[in-house]
A and B are shown apart, each in its own frame.
Chain A
Amino acid sequence: MTLHAKGNGGWVGRSIRRLEDPALVTGQGRFTADLPAAKWVRFVRSTVASGRIVRIVAPPGATILTAADVAAVKPIRPMLHKFNYVPISQPALASDVVRFVGEPVAAVVANTREEAEDLGDLIEIELAETTAVVDARQALAPGAPRVHAQAIGNVIVEGTYRSPGFDAVMASAHRRIEIDICSRRQSALPLEPRAAHAAWDRATRRVTLTCTTQMPHAMRTIIADLIGMREADLRVIAPDVGGGFGQKMSLCPEYLIVTWLARQLKTSVAWTEDRRENLIACFHSRDQHILLAGGFDADARLIALAADIASNIGAYSCYPTTCGVEPLMAMVEMPGPYDVREYACIARGVATNTCPMAPYRGVSRPVITFAIERLMDKAAAALAIDPVEIRRRNLVKSFPYTTATGLVLDPASYVETMEAAVKAGDLSSFRARQSKARAQGRYHGLGVATFAERTGYGTPAFAARGMEITPGWETVDIAMDPSGSIEARIGASPHGQGLRTTLAQIIADELGTSPDRVNIVHGDTDRTPYGWGTFASRSLVIAGGATLLAAQKVGSKLRTMAGVLLEASADDIVLAGDAARVAGTDRVIALDELARAAYHQIHRFKGEVTPGIAETATYDPPGTFSNACHIAMVEVDIETGHVFVEKFLVAEDAGRLINPMIADGQIHGGIAQGIANALLEEIVYDDAGNILTANLADYLAPTAGEIPAIEIHHLHSLAEGSVTKAKGLGEGGTIGAPAAILNAINDALSPFGVAIDELPATPRKIRAALQAAGVK
């Protein structure tokens, strides 16, 4: 099946303006916090990282909920059926112990948000503090406090892998190169904080929960399950959602409480988190240590790779992915785009007294790419070859390629994207500038990162992890109404990705119409088929694939109908220009006439077609890998440790681009987050588990001043594993940029013999490394 331009359509591949934009630029977007409510909730949170709740005192007359009041609400208990997973539970409100600063302990309800906040300040929670453990490696150490009694050594999930020939091949290596890297903790930081609004409907006795979520259907199922209500009595709406990046795909206890309250109080109840709550109590990510050892042969070929991965999962396991999401992805995908047959790994998810971890754009891959790309540069230096050359020798070149851990890399362009980036970057002239500048005491550096980005995961990929909740497929319903307008209802739940536009482009080409005749409905469990939502660079691949398949069915029906009315074979009918035409003739019927006939004059089709125009398709692909090479050029100020990013280059391959403008926007945004990951953003805990970065003056998100111009080059390996030939690309920017920037910094610092192997590379850390090396 191919996606070809029909008639004069050709919408696919064009950078048309987004259908989402007119409302958003005029202030007509509809976000959760815009809704008025009768009652407002404020959560009162733990002020200690570890402790026992001694008592909770509320002012007289205050409406306050504690764990005892919501005893009927089941705890959040995500399940994984493999990898020695130890099930752990998070109560909606902490019952006897607290496990992180920010954990909800009580909820107060008032008539306005301000009153709820006032009351919240008057609630006294007496806590008997116990010793907290904050760092993953400390949590693994003997004698560390146990965050959950049942998790010995604080290990919640443990994956191991060892290829049969590993030991012998590693032992035979010409050189063994080791690297110890760490990524500090970060927040996905969507600009819209979390918000939930639950409204009771007296007539139907249903609750409508409007909330900032990336997966409304899964939220409906789990919230109904945990509250103990019929799923049919709950409607979940994800209206306009102000960014998610993974942070809004997990279930948070706050949404459970708000929904429960609407049923109890039989009214509308709302909660909007403030930025401080978002930074201390909404899912974090990226907190990992990785010890990596590479065995290289005399030709600098990586012949064996060993990894020890410790992922700090925080105090609880996230639903639905579970806390296995980071360590297990790291284990399976660590070899990345490199051809290495022998691999050994231990990957552990470790509980600590910190905010729970959940997916953030790229999940483990920004960290594992950082690890293996630093290893490649370190090996190149040790073996005295160019960093580009060592990658050239080791990248996978023939496809399909089955990795050591059994992933199948579909046709891609690992070498070609790198060569394209190298050419665009004019590396030789950079090296000339670099050495000239060094003579003048200025330190420039260039960093390369190549990577594979697994996208559009179908069911088998998630099933391999043993996930109780196994997402993968998507369903799309497409209908044409009697006036010829087209509506596609999708289970995916876009929140900035422009999916309404790209899906409309796909449908317009199939049906010979234009995207503005197509309305995409999403984010409402009453209006859309069950689906998994938008995350993991999946929507354009999976919902896009289902859209194409459903549109092909609609197209087929339209051709059959036109064939009957125009007395021609359906095979001779072409859909173009909002009409069905017998190819090569002037016999034509407008789509809206056909649509009207399908509903009002079905007798004209002589029993050959069923009434109406409505088709459904489901798509569950094997998954496909897009790929890219990032090159960063930086200057490091040796006196201050400041890093200035001079240039950022991307050569990327995501197969067929449905809308290149939107694709580039995804790359820009991802790279900005990746640069922030590399240089700026860090959630800092003190040893007692207090967060020291609870506002945006301390947690440094990048501004326009920190992000350089980004140059993008596209290659197009058309994916057989995707019916639209499109691969996902939502996460690539975040995956490659940290490695490219850190490699560039280390290149700049190479004259001093220091290495920075920690994300983010802040000025303080760079200065400390230089000082340790004796540089004043």
Chain B
Amino acid sequence: MIEKAPITLNINGQDYTVSVEPRRTLVDVIRDDCGQTGTHIGCEHGICGACTIIVEGEAVRSCLMFAIQADGKRIRTVEGLADGDRLHPLQTAFMAHHALQCGFCTPGFLMLAVNALETNPNITDEEILEVLSSNLCRCTGYQNIIKAVRSTAHEMRRAPAS
């Protein structure tokens, strides 16, 4: 039996204190132990990006991080994007531009793009394409994801969040 370590993950502002084997990945603990299943697992080797979340202001692949490495850190997942019933502008843009079909990759793309928009408010269209090429989508052919993120970037520049 592998010894478990107690850790606390702060996910979307709420603390989850759990006991985990050191070998367990962050995404497994977020999903299985903290019950936040909006973050998905597509490859478990860091290529597809379905598990992308934001840890301390950085977009990371949660399948490539151990949970104990995130002990005490602030984590944001797709469940925390909306403010109550008020959706994040990017969530609305994904619906308006038909940037999702099966929706499996969507949480990862949302967190990837939200992080890019927050860390670089003046992000260019070319930089957006570069960022979005980090993750895989198998349904949309990417056209509408690119449109949704570009339109949100333009909109957020026109009306910065108060």
Binding site for B on A (CB under 8 A): 15, 17-18, 20-29, 31, 33-34, 36, 114, 189-193, 240-243, 245, 272, 274-275, 495-498, 661-662, 664-665, 668-673, 695-697, 701, 703-705, 707, 709-710, 733
Contact with A along B120-140 (1 / 0, CB 8 A): 000000000110111111111
Q: Chain A residues near B24: list those with CB within 8 A.
A: 114
Nearest chain A CB to B105 CB, angstrom units: 5
Q: Chain B residues near A20: list those with CB within 8 A.
A: 103
Contact in complex: B136, A29 (CB < 8 Å): no
Nearest chain B CB to A707 CB, angstrom units: 5
Within 8 A of A (CB), among B89-108: 91, 94-96, 98, 100-107
Given the contacts A114-B24, A242-B40, A695-B45, A668 and B140 also touching, CB distance less than 8 Å: yes
Contact in complex: B41, A665 (CB < 8 Å): no
Which residue in A27, A696, A733 is a CB contact (below 8 Å) of B107? A27
Which residue in A243, A672, A695, A705 is a CB contact (below 8 Å) of B141? A672
Q: Chain B residues near A696: list those with CB within 8 A.
A: 43, 45, 47-48, 136
Interface assignment of B39: CB less than 8 Å from any CB of chain A: yes
Within 8 A of A (CB), among B19-34: 21, 23-24, 31-32
A668 to B147, CA, bound (A): 13
Which residue in A18, A25, A31, A243 is a CB contact (below 8 Å) of B138? A243
Residue ID in chain A nearest B31 by CB atoms: A34
Q: Chain A residues near B87: list those with CB within 8 A.
A: 25-26
Which residue in B37, B43, B94, B130 is a CB contact (below 8 Å) of A21? B94
Contact in complex: A704, B145 (CB < 8 Å): yes
Considering the complex of A and B, which 4 residue pairs feature the smallest CB-CB distances, nearest first? A27-B38, A242-B104, A24-B103, A496-B102
Nearest chain A CB to B109 CB, angstrom units: 10
Contact in complex: A275, B103 (CB < 8 Å): no
Interface assignment of B110: CB less than 8 Å from any CB of chain A: yes
Q: Chain A residues near B129: list those with CB within 8 A.
A: 704-705
Contact in complex: A275, B45 (CB < 8 Å): yes
A328 to B96, CA, bound (A): 41
Contact in complex: A24, B31 (CB < 8 Å): no
Interface assignment of B162: CB less than 8 Å from any CB of chain A: no
Binding site for A on B (CB under 8 A): 21, 23-24, 31-32, 36-45, 47-48, 50, 77-79, 81-82, 87, 91, 94-96, 98, 100-107, 110, 129-130, 132-146
Contact in complex: B140, A669 (CB < 8 Å): yes
Residue ID in chain B nearest A23 by CB atoms: B103
Residue ID in chain A nearest B42 by CB atoms: A191
Q: Chain A residues near B79: list those with CB within 8 A.
A: 26-27
Residue ID in chain B nearest A29 by CB atoms: B103
A sample of 24 cross-chain residue pairs with beta-carbon separation below 8 angstroms, ordered by A number, consists of A18-B95, A20-B103, A24-B103, A26-B79, A27-B107, A31-B40, A33-B37, A114-B21, A114-B23, A191-B105, A191-B138, A192-B40, A242-B105, A243-B102, A245-B138, A668-B143, A673-B141, A695-B47, A696-B47, A701-B48, A703-B134, A704-B129, A705-B133, A710-B143
A603 to B126, CA, bound (A): 68
A29 to B79, CA, bound (A): 11
Interface of B is mostly: loop
Q: Chain B residues near A17: list those with CB within 8 A.
A: 95-96, 98
A421 to B62, CA, bound (A): 44
Q: Chain A residues near B47: list those with CB within 8 A.
A: 695-697
A28 to B101, CA, bound (A): 15
Q: Chain A residues near B135: list those with CB within 8 A.
A: 703
Nearest chain A CB to B5 CB, angstrom units: 15
Q: Chain A residues near B106: list those with CB within 8 A.
A: 24-25
A243 to B81, CA, bound (A): 24
Q: Chain A residues near B141: list those with CB within 8 A.
A: 665, 668-673, 707, 710, 733
Contact in complex: A192, B77 (CB < 8 Å): no
Nearest chain B CB to A31 CB, angstrom units: 7
Contact in complex: B98, A27 (CB < 8 Å): no
Which residue in A26, A497, A670, A671 is a CB contact (below 8 Å) of B82? A26
Residue ID in chain A nearest B2 by CB atoms: A114
A672 to B23, CA, bound (A): 36
Given the contacts A114-B21, A274-B44, A189 and B138 also touching, CB distance less than 8 Å: yes
Q: Chain B residues near A497: list those with CB within 8 A.
A: 101
Given the contacts A31-B37, A695-B47, A191 and B91 also touching, CB distance less than 8 Å: no
Contact in complex: A191, B94 (CB < 8 Å): no
Q: Chain B residues near A29: list those with CB within 8 A.
A: 38, 103-104
Contact in complex: A33, B38 (CB < 8 Å): no
A190 to B138, CA, bound (A): 6
Contact in complex: A240, B140 (CB < 8 Å): no
Contact in complex: A662, B136 (CB < 8 Å): no
A440 to B133, CA, bound (A): 31
Contact in complex: A27, B139 (CB < 8 Å): no
Nearest chain B CB to A252 CB, angstrom units: 19
Q: Chain B residues near A240: list those with CB within 8 A.
A: 102-104
Contact in complex: A242, B98 (CB < 8 Å): no
